[in-house]
Amino acid sequence: MVVGGGVAGVQAALDLTELGYYVYLVEKSAAVGGAMAQLDKTFPTNDCSL
Amino acid sequence: MVDQYNEGLAVTRPIHIDYPQAVPASYFIDPSACLHLKHGTCKICEPVCRSHAIDFSQQPVERDLHVGAVIMAPGFGKVPDEALAKYGYGKHPDVVTSIEFERLLNPSGPFKGEVRCISDKRHPHKIAFIQCVGSRDIGCDNGYCSSVCCMYAIKEAMVAKEHDPDCEITIFYMDMRTQGKDFDAARIRAEEQFGIKFVRARVADVMPWGKQLKLTYSTLAGGHHFEPFDMVVLSIGLDAPKSAGELAKIADFELNKYDFCKTGSFAPLQTTRPGVFVAGAFQGPKDIPESVTQSSAAAGIASAMIKLQRGAGVVHKAYPDEQAVAEEDEVRIGVFVCRCGINISGTVDVPAVVDSAGHMENVVFFSDSLYSCSQDAQEVIKDKIKKHRLNRIVMAACSPRTHEPLFQETLKDAGLNRSLFEMVNIRDQCSWVHANEPEEATNKSRDLVRMGVAKARLIRPLPEQTVPVTPQALIIGGGVAGLTAAENLANQGFQCHLVEKQEKLGGHALRTQETILGENTSAMLQELISRVEKHEKIEVLTGAELVAVNGFVGNFSSVVKTSRGKNENEVTIDHGVIIIATGGREHRPDLYLLGQAKKVVTQQELESQLAGKAKDRAPDSVVMIQCAGSRGEDLKYCSKICCNAAVKNALKIKEINPASQVIVLYRDMRTYGYAEDAYQLAREKGVVFIPYEVDRKPRVEKKGNRVNVNFFDPILQEDVSIAPELIALSVGIVPEDTDSLSKLLKIPVNENKFYLEAHVKLRPVELAVAGVYVCGLAHSPKPLDEIIVQAQAAAAKASMPLVKGYVAVEPIVSVIDKEMCIGCGICSSRCPSFAISMGGFTREQIGAQIKAFGEI
Ligand SMILES: Cc1cc2nc3c(=O)[nH]c(=O)nc-3n(C[C@H](O)[C@H](O)[C@H](O)COP(=O)(O)OP(=O)(O)OC[C@H]3O[C@@H](n4cnc5c(N)ncnc54)[C@H](O)[C@@H]3O)c2cc1C
Ligand code: SF4
Ligand code: SF4
């Protein structure tokens, strides 16, 4: 089970599925993405965050 | 109601979706604004909704989940408003937080990407950034440094400058902490190319000044300064998440004194409760690349712990049968042009581009789309494929690097072979680079679409092939990184071969005694070495070197040469993946009389002295010089760890000899994260920190027996000369010979000779060659806890193909025209994927012939 669906939680959940596990991803708000979904562009590569 | 997603700078409706690409893409009713949920009235939406989607009888449900491991990733929270109030936040609308500023910069933000003052919607001409708001601030109990705000302030300032090149931007800071890989380069670019001003100062307050805001600040030289600005951005720190206490209670793990998750440097992702791990900003403030690395690492550790459960309950996604597309079939192309909100459509005339696509031969469907990457857009694409029997798709949108896999997945879902897809990048290559020439941008978009369509007419379905994997790993380097990676892979059940050049395992950590938090490094290292040596799944090869690598991901075959004295032996190892953990070493610059005067030593030498012969007698006076040879001299980059090392040694000296006078000459003290506490403590203990400017570096000279340090004191505003008992240089880290290995494996290194990752944010531990991963100092300088996490992440990523048992081979492959090939062998020697072999003339075969010739 992964608690929190920001970039960290989503990545952990994806990696666990790649490693062969069934994952529950628990997110408090209506959508995953966390703080990163609010950012315009992100360093260091400055591509869009969505 | 106020739009929380836009930080309250815009309004939205109680029933809404935060942003079009949200996952899941479902509208929701915000309970804090719904009249029915709050007051039991209204309910008007229920009968109005034509899809009958609204069901107020739904109640929250509690579910019991049986899980093998838990990963806590609740992120970070907001700094309390009180910490912002002293800068006028809440009183004056044009004082905004950095997150609000992100929204202002964003095309889907409140002013559609135009930066405007909140008060009267004018464009600000002068913007100030104030750093360390709510961090490094004991006043609000956040003594730590948030680690990311210096870098994001630079990013936001540069983006704002791109929007309005005439805007003047000043960043007020204490230390610019751009210690990450290649981050200093961004800082220099901000100053030199973008003309952003950096001022080392403390801001006292922000007051209204006519329509503007007046900043009062003091510099080191003393004296107060005033300057008016149109907008003030507060670089707010990352606070502990609001739910930290509650989560800790529910899951029974401990928090640290700042309410982030409590962990140690040697098991950075392990909470105090076995089976519960942590990743991301909740572990401590950090940026996206590091959060992503921690997540992979946590997934790997959890995976090793519950490996018996692997595969249980897993549902495999089913795809519809692939529709046969034969050569003689009619080509039916669908063209989708993405608006990317106003990211593309703000510059490019999207309808005109769509219209031009409509006139092209074989194009049977064409349309635009607001955000092609959103979930509902995928449904539209699938639907159009079916309805118009499309058998080629051209997508004009953003970068295929980030988005091509998503669209190819949609094609597969619609029963089309994923190769029948062509993507052109009209955002980066048209609307972004030609932001000020809309007509040219539109013409270029038309050209790119026309070219894409021309190519699409000729693309053919390609079969997806998979090849089996040898479930073993080769790890190069037996330092902390290599040892950790090997242990994790072995714990996941895979055979590892650990190759170490030296006779002994341990690498450079053998020379450190403890971490800045006082944890005993040497004991940890000895335990790690002994666990690895005893592990039945790890074969340790010391005095060993990699001499040849053949094959490709899943199927490598490597030759390792071991030597014991004069005895040399070569073994061939078959393995599926490679982890590079070759480490780094202390740089020895020819500066400040290092190597010429006995009184001048490096921080590492000082650390050894303080643990050894100087255990009871530390020098009475020490001057430390930071960035010796780093950040623009021999080394262009910041080595990230030497500020910590200096503070650690300074504290040790003060512990042994409290009367000792310790002076640290620095450019920026980069004790980011919790190391800031140690920096604070050092100052309390009387260690003196004095900044120097690059154009006024300290000088060290020999005068008889004495060694003098001369420097400019910015507080006294005069030159000072002292003759300390010892001078310690913070010299930085260089990678251990990456030249030969990068050639052997054909992987690129950056200009500083560290390995270049495949994508800094999306694939931080993978390299350009599939199946090869990197961790530790070979990637970039970093402290021990980050090395351990990165090694765990590399192990997790490397285990993925091993777990699957097969790898998919890229369907787009080249073939050699045997009629034309003259067998020169150049392509074989240059191919980074080792895809080409010279048949009857391999290196081994020719080598064997030559060796045999020399044998008599
Ligand atoms: C202004 C600003 C600009 C930034 N710019 C950059 C940048 O350009 N580049 C960069 O690399 N980094 C940047 N960062 C840092 C970046 O935002 C973080 O590194 C990253 O978002 C951390 O991800 P996370 O998943 O750990 O946390 P979050 O993004 O905070 O995600 C946590 C998630 O967990 C959910 N959650 C919380 N508690 C619970 C609970 N109890 N149960 C269930 N769910 C819960 C939350 O709703 C949220 O969705 C910036 C930060 C700020 C503040
Ligand atoms: S020094 Fe640290 S807390 Fe201050 S702005 Fe920079 S990263 Fe943030
Ligand atoms: S001393 Fe080292 S860590 Fe500190 S700023 Fe200089 S190079 Fe970076």
Q: What is the DSSP string of B622-652?
A: EEEETTTT-SSSSS-S--SSHHHHHHHHHHH
What is the three-state SS of B580-601?
A: ECCCEEECCCCCCCCCCCCCEE
Give B614's pLDDT tier (boundaries 50, 70, 90): low
Q: Which atom belonging to ligand 2 lies closest to the Cα atom of B151? A: 7
Of A3, A11, A32, the CB nearest to B296: A11
Ligand 2 and B677: CB distance under 6 A: no
Of B159, B281, B299, the CB nearest to A16: B299
Region B258-273: what's the mean pLDDT? 97
Let me know the angle formed at the C-alpha of B642 by B639 and B643, rounded to the nearest 5 degrees: 115
The per-residue pLDDT string of chain A (50 residues; one tens digit each, 9 = 90 and over) reads 999 999 999 999 999 999 999 999 999 999 999 999 999 888 877 766 66
Q: CA–CA separation, B471 vs B486, rounded Å? A: 13
Residue B669 CA, ligand 3 centroid: distance in Å: 7
Predicted confidence at residue B86, as pLDDT, reads 92
Predicted confidence at residue A28, as pLDDT, reads 94
Is a pLDDT exceeding 80 seen at residue B839?
A: no
3-state class of B370 per DSSP?
coil
Ligand 2 and B286: CB distance under 6 A: no
Reported as a single tens digit per residue, the pLDDT across B657-677 is 999 999 999 999 999 999 999
Q: CA–CA separation, B400 vs B50, rounded Å? A: 37
Region B229-252: what's the mean pLDDT? 97
Is a pLDDT exceeding 70 seen at residue B779?
A: yes
Residue whose CA lies nearest to ligand 2 atom number 2: B145
Q: Which residue has the higher pLDDT, B777 or B838?
A: B777
Q: B701 to chain A, minimum CA–CA distance in Å?
A: 40
Is a pLDDT exceeding 80 seen at residue B811?
A: no
Predicted confidence at residue B617, as pLDDT, reads 84
Reported as a single tens digit per residue, the pLDDT across B143-174 is 999 999 999 999 999 999 988 999 999 999 99
Predicted confidence at residue A50, as pLDDT, reads 64
Predicted confidence at residue A49, as pLDDT, reads 64
Predicted confidence at residue B100, as pLDDT, reads 96
On whether the CB atoms of residues B710 and B702 are closer than 8 A, the answer is no
Hey, is the C-beta of B102 within 8 angstroms of any chain A C-beta?
Answer: yes
* Ligand showing the shortest atom-to-Cα distance for residue B104: 1
Predicted confidence at residue A48, as pLDDT, reads 67
Hey, is the C-beta of A39 within 8 angstroms of any chain B C-beta?
Answer: yes
Give B633's pLDDT tier (boundaries 50, 70, 90): confident
| CB spacing of B65 vs A24 below 8 angstroms | yes
Q: B192 to chain A, minimum CA–CA distance in Å?
A: 18
Q: How far is C-alpha B161 from the chain's CA centre?
A: 24
Ligand 3 and B630: CB distance under 6 A: yes
* Ligand showing the shortest atom-to-Cα distance for residue B77: 1
Region B352-378: what's the mean pLDDT? 93
Predicted confidence at residue B720, as pLDDT, reads 96
Q: The dihedral of CA B736, B739, B742, B745: what is its sign?
A: negative
Predicted confidence at residue B836, as pLDDT, reads 82
Contacts of B186 in chain A (CB under 8 A): 43-44
Q: Which 8-state DSSP code applies to residue B119?
A: T
Parent domain of A10: 2-48
State the residue for tokens 């159009």: B384
Query: What total of structural domains would you count in chain A?
Result: 1
| CB spacing of B302 vs A36 below 8 angstroms | no
Of B26, B186, B399, the CB nearest to A44: B186
Hey, is the C-beta of A32 within 8 angstroms of any chain B C-beta?
Answer: yes
Residue whose CA lies nearest to ligand 3 atom number 2: B642
Hey, is the C-beta of A27 within 8 angstroms of any chain B C-beta?
Answer: no
Predicted confidence at residue B304, as pLDDT, reads 95
What b-and-e string marks burial along B382-412, b requiring 16 or more CB atoms within 10 Å of the CB? Answer: bebbeeeebbbbbbbbbebebbbeebbebbb
Nearest CA in chain A to B251: A3
Give B557's pLDDT tier (boundaries 50, 70, 90): very high
Residue whose CA lies nearest to ligand 3 atom number 8: B638
- Backbone φ and ψ of B423, nearest 5°: -120, 135
Predicted confidence at residue B280, as pLDDT, reads 98
Residue B526 CA, ligand 1 centroid: distance in Å: 36
Predicted confidence at residue B390, as pLDDT, reads 96
Q: CA–CA separation, A25 vs A10, rounded Å? A: 8
Hey, is the C-beta of B815 within 8 angstroms of any chain A C-beta?
Answer: no
Region B698-703: what's the mean pLDDT? 95
Is a pLDDT exceeding 80 seen at residue B769?
A: yes
Region B607-612: what's the mean pLDDT? 89
Of B71, B152, B312, the CB nearest to A12: B71
Ligand 2 and B179: CB distance under 6 A: no
Predicted confidence at residue B818, as pLDDT, reads 84
* Ligand showing the shortest atom-to-Cα distance for residue B781: 3
Predicted confidence at residue B420, as pLDDT, reads 95
Interface test with A, best of B761, B763, B799 (most A CBs within 10 A): B761
Hey, is the C-beta of A33 within 8 angstroms of any chain B C-beta?
Answer: yes
* pLDDT, averaged across chain B: 93
On whether the CB atoms of residues B198 and B186 are closer than 8 A, the answer is no
CA dist list (Å): B500 to A40, B470, B479, B508, B765? 44, 22, 8, 12, 20
Could you tell me the pTM of the whole model? 0.91
Contacts of A39 in chain B (CB under 8 A): 102
- Backbone φ and ψ of B256, nearest 5°: -85, -175
List the one residue out of B693, B683, B677 whose CA is nearest residue B632. Answer: B693
Reported as a single tens digit per residue, the pLDDT across B12-61 is 999 999 888 888 888 899 988 999 999 999 999 999 999 898 999 988 99
